[in-house]
Structure 1
Amino acid sequence: MTTTTTSSSLAPPRDRDRDRGRGPRGLAWLVLRQHRAAVWTFGVALLVLLSALGTLYLSITDYVADHGLADVCTAGWACAPDGTIGAFSDELADPVHYIGRVVECLPVLFGMFVAGPLIARELHSGTYKLAWTQSVSPLRWLAAKLAVPATAVLAGFSLLSAAYTSVWRAQPLPVIPGQWWWRSFPMIGVVPVAHALLALALGAVAGLLLKRTVPAMGAVLVAYPVIAGLLESLRGGLVGPVTELSAEMPGLIRGSDDWVTGRGMIGQGGGRMPEPDCGIGVDPADCLAQHHARGWYVDYHPASHLWPLQWAEAGLSLALAALLAGGAVWLVRRQWP
């Protein structure tokens, strides 16, 4: 008796794991497995920060309600007698501020992770060749490498920024000078998420260029603060400020919610003289006469400009991130055509 065997039964079973590894989804899963320690660290840190912010939110809302600060505090420290604002600052405002600094600094840490352990280390060790031998193109490899941190940024940073913004808004802000909206700008709203995506794109370029873990991480550590400083210098001009003219010298602080970006004199011909030197104790009228000016001006952003400025800077950050991502694609195509 003979047995007839078809050619299909003789063929080796399909290696589903290998087939999955050929696509971006399989590679993304591989990235998660390779860097599971970092993924767990990020997840635990996120939970800790969210828990701390939740506790702070409840403490702040209870304190504001117990001391009647929600409605009466609009004129500065004097509106809250008996040192209630000082006690609030000591107990609650400082932790909010320091957590905000952590939120502000997290993007550069993500960029360093992408530049070093995620890309540069693999290029240096040569392990990227294993993926490329499995019918994965260099561009698909890069896309998979960036999918994991980009997803973490969009999910984790959105949650963290929303939680921190809720805590920040729960404070009696008019009496907490360190928490004015223009000073907390990179910690709240959509800007931290956009900054994190910008840092990730910067990390990808640094890793592809340097191909060494420590130099790539160092490059991000140096370059990102420069870019963040540039964005900060442009921030006040992303939305047109409000300008007011007066005969009296305006103060640097108009109100608790106004961000003054410039002041000075208006000349007889209409030209501006920013921050003229009047000397100490000189009367504003005499200062005008000295400089042959006809009045003073002040440029400022009211609190209503917060969200237009947020979206404008976020858009600019995403545009820079797109340019850097395009640069990363160009580098991959140039080095591994």
Structure 2
Amino acid sequence: MSTLTVSARWTFRLHRWALIVWAALVAAIGGLLLWTAGPPADKADRAWHRLEQCRRLSRCVVDMGSYSTTYTFLTYAMILLPFVVAAWAGATLAARELESGTALLAWTQGVTPVRWLAVRLALPAAVLTVGATLLVALHRFAWRALEDRPDRRPAWAAPFTFHTNGPTIVAACLTALAAGALTGLLVRRTVPALGISVAASVLLLDGAHWLMPHLRTPVTEVAPFREGYPHMFDGIEIAHGMVTRTGAHVPTPDCAAADMDACLRIFERHDGTGFYTTFHPASHFWPLQLTTSAVLLLVTALLTAASFVVLKRRTG
């Protein structure tokens, strides 16, 4: 039996409870997503139909069911997964074995430090990729359950829905894994490594979310004042404001008037001719997903390379 196989079996035995917990999370969230796409979505759809039929009444009470609440809860649960991964990776993937001396024992049994780290990264990465990808597919299924009423389901551009509906959440889990491993190698103490890993993942993933709208050229739409800001809530907004007679895009002047006509006169005195909105439409969903995922995977690769460099320097 090769040392690589021995290392893989030892890694599995050492972290089998983490695997069990991850499998339980995937099964629980995935099962609830499937259920959400069924009875709760059907009830919400019927409620919207009843609501439209009784709009003319002075009073109308309709039970919308649990679709929205359950969907929101499961979306939040998926968003938290990378931070759970970071906490586990920082605390147990490397730091605990280094702190307890288990890693040193493995290195004396014919497993080189490079192979030791490679196995500890490769196996969790494979499990995380499979589990997170399955959850993304089920989340999209639940999100699309109200297919005939897209105006009533959560907006595709809502930050949490955006990330849980595509591969960015999968890439985020891998980035958190790499960040936790590097932190564990640097800190070598379980509890501090846990906290630092989570904090580092928050910074990295928040940075990726901030960068995301700037990874593709947005669309700018212009409309007359009477039509308001075009596509204000149709996508991921970058900027909005007023268009002048020269075609310049400037901030909309403040207006505290009680009616729109008074505001329009103020806008026109500032040479305004209409409003503009710069945004990403729904057609940019996949390009933004893929470019953001590519950035996260690049960060993951850099963190992984740094982990091997740190390990090599620590072990000679």
Distance, in Å, in 2 between the alignment partners of 1:264 and 1:65 is 36
Match in the other structure for 1:9: none
Structure 1 residue 215 corresponds to structure 2 residue 187: no
1:100/1:187 contact within 8 Å kept = yes
1:67/1:84 contact within 8 Å kept = no
Match in the other structure for 1:37: 17
Distance, in Å, in 2 between the alignment partners of 1:84 and 1:40 is 47
2:225/2:273 contact within 8 Å kept = no
Distance, in Å, in 2 between the alignment partners of 1:66 and 1:299 is 36
The residue identity in structure 1 corresponding to 2:167 is V
Alignment partner of 1:128: what SS? helix
1:123/1:211 contact within 8 Å kept = yes
Distance, in Å, in 1 between the alignment partners of 2:252 and 2:206 is 23
Count of residue correspondences:
307
Match in the other structure for 2:63: 87
**Residues 150-173 of structure 1 deviation map (CA, whole Å, 9 limit, x = unaligned):** 011111111111111111111334
Structure 1 residue 331 corresponds to structure 2 residue 310: yes
1:115/1:203 contact within 8 Å kept = yes
- 1:284 Cα deviation after fit: 4.4
- 1:258 Cα deviation after fit: 3.2
2:223 to 246, 254, 269: 246
1:308 to 274, 287, 292: 287
The residue identity in structure 2 corresponding to 1:287 is I
Alignment partner of 2:71: what SS? helix
Match in the other structure for 2:127: 152
User: How has the CA–CA distance of structure 1 residues 277 and 230 changed in structure 2, closer, same or farther, with 3 Å as cutoff?
Assistant: farther
1:105 to 70, 80, 86: 80
Distance, in Å, in 2 between the alignment partners of 1:149 and 1:206 is 16
Match in the other structure for 1:200: 177
2:98/2:188 contact within 8 Å kept = yes
User: How has the CA–CA distance of structure 1 residues 134 and 101 changed in structure 2, closer, same or farther, with 3 Å as cutoff?
Assistant: same
Match in the other structure for 1:288: 267
Match in the other structure for 1:262: 239
Alignment partner of 1:237: what SS? helix
1:46/1:160 contact within 8 Å kept = yes
Structure 2: gaps of 5 or more residues: none
Using structure 1 for the length normalisation, give the TM-score: 0.82
1:115/1:204 contact within 8 Å kept = yes
User: How has the CA–CA distance of structure 1 residues 138 and 280 changed in structure 2, closer, same or farther, with 3 Å as cutoff?
Assistant: farther
The residue identity in structure 1 corresponding to 2:80 is C
Distance, in Å, in 1 between the alignment partners of 2:25 and 2:176 is 19
- 1:236 Cα deviation after fit: 1.9
Alignment partner of 1:304: what SS? helix
Distance, in Å, in 2 between the alignment partners of 1:249 and 1:222 is 47
The residue identity in structure 2 corresponding to 1:46 is V
Match in the other structure for 1:227: 204
Structure 1 residue 57 corresponds to structure 2 residue 37: yes
1:174/1:256 contact within 8 Å kept = no
Alignment partner of 1:243: what SS? strand
1:201/1:321 contact within 8 Å kept = yes
1:241/1:300 contact within 8 Å kept = yes
Superposed CA RMSD in Å reads 2.7
Alignment partner of 1:236: what SS? helix
The residue identity in structure 2 corresponding to 1:28 is A
Alignment partner of 2:109: what SS? coil
Distance, in Å, in 2 between the alignment partners of 1:190 and 1:105 is 15
Distance, in Å, in 2 between the alignment partners of 1:157 and 1:38 is 15
Distance, in Å, in 2 between the alignment partners of 1:252 and 1:245 is 8
Alignment partner of 1:265: what SS? strand
- 1:192 Cα deviation after fit: 0.9
Alignment partner of 1:298: what SS? strand
Alignment partner of 2:250: what SS? strand
Alignment partner of 1:189: what SS? coil
Using structure 2 for the length normalisation, give the TM-score: 0.87
- 1:216 Cα deviation after fit: 0.8
Aligned identity (percent) is 30
Larger radius of gyration: 1
User: How has the CA–CA distance of structure 1 residues 291 and 253 changed in structure 2, closer, same or farther, with 3 Å as cutoff?
Assistant: closer
Distance, in Å, in 1 between the alignment partners of 2:53 and 2:72 is 21
User: How has the CA–CA distance of structure 1 residues 284 and 94 changed in structure 2, closer, same or farther, with 3 Å as cutoff?
Assistant: same
1:252/1:260 contact within 8 Å kept = no
